[in-house]
Every structure is written in C-alpha cells, then in structure tokens.
Amino acid sequence: MKKVGFFQSIHLKFVLIYMLLILLATQVIGVYFVNELEQKLLTNFQDSLAKRTDLLAYNVQQELVKKREKTDTTTTDIKSLLQDFASSSRDDIREVQVINESSIVLATSDQYNQGIVGKKTTDILVKRTLLSGASDKKMEIQPSDGKRMQITTVPVKENGKTVAVIYTMASMEDVYGQMRQINQIFATGTVIALLVTAVLGILLAQTITRPISEMRRQAVEMAKGNYSRKVKVYGYDEIGQLALAFNNLSKKLRQARASTESERRKLISVLSHMTDGVIATDRKGYIILLNDPAEKLLNVSRETALDQPITKILGIEEEYTLDNLYEEPDSVILDYSTRDEHYILRASFSVIQKETGKSNGLIAVLYDVTEQERIDRERREFVANVSHELRTPLTTMRSYLEALSEGAWQNAEIAPRFLSVAQDETERMIRLVNDLLRLSKMDSTEYHLMKEWVDFTEFFNRIIERFEMSKEQNATFKRAFSKKTRFIEIDEDKITQVLYNIISNALKYSPEGGTVTYRLRDRGEALEVSISDQGMGIPKDNVNKIFDRFYRVDKARSRQLGGTGLGLAIAKEMVQAHGGAIWAKSEEGKGTTIYFTLPMERDQEDDWE
C-alpha cells in the first residue's frame, strides 16, 4: 500500500481546518467589532465637535450684537474667541473662521492665514449654510499631507435670521489613529490565537489520527491474510467503538475464512457423493470437473471426458452450440433410449459468472428422468381415460345399493355404514364432475367473467379469516402485507375459488404447527398475491407441472385427502381469464409458494384513492 505523505495526511488536514475555523471566527468578530467601533468613534467625534461649535456660535452671536452697538473691539473679541476655541480642542481643530452674511471672513484662528480676513469666501458649504440657515458638513483629504479633515459650517442666527457662519476644519487623524491601534491589537490577538490553536489542534489531531493509523495498519495486515493482530483501543468514544468494531470484524473474518475453507471441503465431498450428476466447464465449454454420478449417468470415464467439449460428451453438438447453452435453456432432454430400454436424462444449465458479470463457464446438472417420463405417460393415459375415475365410485355405489335393495337396509349395523360409503362416494364423484365441468366451461366460449371493483386487501382478509375459523389442524396464519387499500376489477366468485383451492392445498400439505404466509405486493401495473406453506415441497422438475390437469405431487395422499388433481388447473384457468399469471416456487423439505398476479390499472387505482 502506498505510504501517505505528510501533506496528504488527515493529521495536517485536521489542524488546518481547525485553524481556518478559528481564523474565520476571529475575522468575522473583528470586522464586526471594528466597524461598529469606527462608527461609534466617528459619531462621538462629530457630536463633540457639534456641541463645541454650537457654544462658539452663541458666543459669536453675542459679539456681533456688540458690534451693532458700535463697540470697536468686536473683531478682536471674535478672534480671541476663535483662538481660545482652537486651543481648547486639543490638536483636532485645524482652523476656525467666522464669515458674515455677506460671505466676508471676519476672523480666523490660524495665525498664518490672517490674510483672508476681510476678504470674501467662495466656499460652497458657507454659501449653502447662509442660504438654508442649516448646518452642513463634509469630509475631505488635504492634498498637502493626505490627512482626513471634517469640515462643518454652523449658522449664527439672530431673531431667526442667519447673520454669520462658523466654518470649522477639524482633523480626524486621532480617530483613525485609534482604529489603526485597535486593528494592530486584533491582528496580534489573531496571530496568538492561531498559534495556540495550532498547538491544541496538533494535540487533538493526534488523539484522533493515532487510532485511525492503527486501524489502517490493521487493514493492511488483513489484506495480507493476517487476522490475528488487534487494534489498540484508546478510549470508548466513537473512535474507540470503531476500533472495537474493527477488532470484531477481524475476528469475524477469521471465522468466515475458516468456515469458507470448511464449506469448500464439504462442497467437494457433496459433489463426490450426490446422486445427481454435475459437470463444470471453463469459459470455452471444455469440461474441467465431473463427479462420479455424472460418470455413471453418461457411462463415460473421467479421463475420457475431461478437456472435451460438453456438447460432444452430452451428444448434443448437432442441436445446441455453446452460445445456446450460455443462454440458459430451462432444460435439455437427453434421450439415450434403445429399442429395449427407455433411458432419458434431463440436463439443467446455469452460467458461472465473475464479479464483473462476465461468463466464466457452465454448470450442468444431470437428472435421470426415465421414471418421471413413465409417470407422465401414465398421467396422459389417465386423462384420456378419465371415465375410470367415475367408474370406481359408481361401481361402489351400485354394489352397496344392490345389497341394500336385497334386504341389507333392514340390518341396523350394516345399513348406516353402507349409506355413509355411498354418500362419500357420491360427494367425491360430484367434486370430480364439478371440477371437470368448470374446466370444460372455461375452455368453451360460453365462459364470462362478472367483474366488479373490489378492495382486494379487505377481500383477501375475509377469505383468510374464513379458513382461520374453520381450519382443523394446528396451523398458524401470517399476514405479511400492509392494510393499504388496493382496488382491482375482478370476478369475486372466481377469485374466491382460486384462493380456496390454493389455501386448501397449503393447509393439506402443511405439517402440524406449520405456518401459512400470505403476501400482497404491488408490481407496477399488477398485484402479486402469494401463499406459502411449510410442507414437504415439490421437486424442482415438477414445480411447473402442478398446474396440469390431474397432476398430483403425492398421488396417494391426494386421494386420501379427497383431491381430484384439478384444483390448481382450475385456478390457473381463472387467473389467466383475468389477464394474470400463476406460478410456483418450491424447495423440497421447506415448503411451496404459489404466486399469481391480477392486472391493476394505475389510473383507476388513483381515481379510487
């Protein structure tokens, strides 16, 4: 595994992220604080200047009153007021001027600018204040030294009339000097905070990255096949829990590896001793494995068959190519019959795939179906001669009725028993005839469905409840579906019969204390209904035959339970008449599940909802 560089490590990333967060937080707080402080200092400076200027305006107004009273010292007094005002305002007042209503400068506090006294000023702020009678201000930067100046004009009024203007030029460098000092303090504080953060981040990152590094080393060892090493647990926080989980994973993988090896040995043993023949090929179809039953079924030796094309060994090279077998046909019948003896094999193929999904070979399982073919022939003969099924009960009834008519009805012990046998045979015959009539009617053109919209969930629950109340054996019913409303259009009587046939079979073949599971699933435009039992199951090759007429998985037990072999055939016809499909899945020894679907129009369903 490639070693992680310092600049790529999570340690450095953690410290950098931690420092960036602190820096971002400090900057946000600093910007907000500095902006607010700057506004506050500027406001305080302007308010203080305004108050002092207002006081000066009052004093100037008094001096102007003296001037009208012919006092000769008025100009000198105003100049003295201005100098006192400038000197009492620390260093922020650069110059103060008094301009009369004719825009003539009466006095100035600047000793080096006395030449403007008695001259007319052209300053726009002064003219604006004289015209409006309101204070005005602006900020400008001196071109000579680049300092920022606050210039204000305050009117001097007498009896509501503006008689003069006080022009003040104040330096704002003290305010901005304070701001620079504050910014320097913030910068220094930020640097100190980042240094402290870096130290704390390094210490904190070590507590997190140390167990992670341990787990990385453990993962490398596990990749090499070493599952004995354990990660050191430094605490019981989330990372500590992860370390514990990692140790547990290592333990589970060690057990799984041992289990896999054990299963591999078991698989080899099973392949060697199973009764069905198994053949495995490589990607090109050449045989790489076949077990002893396959040798016996094909009557070939392992040395002869290995590295030979499977199509050649099975004798199907003329009918099938390797590509045909990769398409996974349901099964291939291999007929090795002779004139004297029938010998038929069924080969089922499955494709071996890599993790990428690419085909990597074939597995062929061989079954001797000679006996099954013989049974199928007998079943076809039985269907052709179904009248024999009716002849047996009729013959029994006739013999018992003849005995009764000859006087057995007078025997109190024999007569009830004869009548009971006759009644049982009659009911059996009626069931058989009714089933045959139903099938015959469905095959004819006179068969019509009386469809109506039904909430299938409620309908299904009613059927289940009937069986639940009337069941004789100790079986558990499990409803594995939601109470969601599902409206579909069906012939309620026909689907009731379908469910009765399927559920009856499930109960018949369920063991004592078994569970019958009912499911409903929405499959796009169809509703899928499934009923599962925990009975003896059906052989894989016979699963698709259970819907054939007169087919019985266990013929003796079906007769004992009163079955006719037509229940699922009738169910198939009725489901197909509704536009649905029916099929079964079964595993021998674990049970059988019957599935069927019914069309469910999505638009109609939305209308009902």
Contacts of 173 (CB under 8 A, 6+ apart): 147, 148
pLDDT value at position 9?
64
Summarised one tens digit per residue, pLDDT across range 411-455 is: 777 777 777 777 767 776 776 677 666 666 665 555 677 889 999
pLDDT value at position 68?
58
Residue 528: pLDDT over 90: yes
Q: What angle do CA 446, 450, 451 make, to 5 degrees?
A: 135
Average pLDDT score, the chain:
79
Listed range (201-205, 475-479, 516-520) with the worst mean pLDDT? 201-205
Q: Report all structural domains of the chain as residue ranges with CATH numbers, in order of start.
A: 12-178 (3.30.450.20), 271-368 (3.30.450.20), 375-443 (1.10.287.130), 452-608 (3.30.565.10)
- Which helix (DSSP H) or strand (DSSP E) does residue 333 occupy? strand 332-335
pLDDT value at position 388?
52
Summarised one tens digit per residue, pLDDT across range 219-231 is: 777 777 777 777 7
Where do we find the tokens 């060697």? 272
pTM value is 0.35
Answer yes or no: are the C-beta atoms of 292 and 370 closer than 8 Å.
no
Per-residue pLDDT band at 360 (split at 50, 70, 90): confident
Across the range 572-601, mean pLDDT stands at 89
Summarised one tens digit per residue, pLDDT across range 148-175 is: 888 888 888 888 788 888 888 888 888 8
Summarised one tens digit per residue, pLDDT across range 463-498 is: 998 888 877 677 889 999 998 899 999 988 889 888
Sign of the torsion angle spanned by Cα atoms 94, 96, 102, 104: negative
Q: How far apart are CA 315 and CA 503, in angstroms?
A: 44
Listed range (45-59, 119-133, 198-212, 245-259) with the worst mean pLDDT? 198-212
Question: Around Cβ 600, how many Cβ atoms within 10 Å?
Answer: 20
Summarised one tens digit per residue, pLDDT across range 575-584 is: 988 889 999 9
Listed range (72-81, 211-220, 281-290, 534-543) with the worst mean pLDDT? 72-81
Residue 530: pLDDT over 50: yes
Residue 374: pLDDT over 60: yes
Q: What angle do CA 215, 218, 224 make, to 5 degrees?
A: 150
Q: How far apart are CA 164 and CA 259, in angstroms?
A: 106
Coil/strand/helix, residue 520: strand
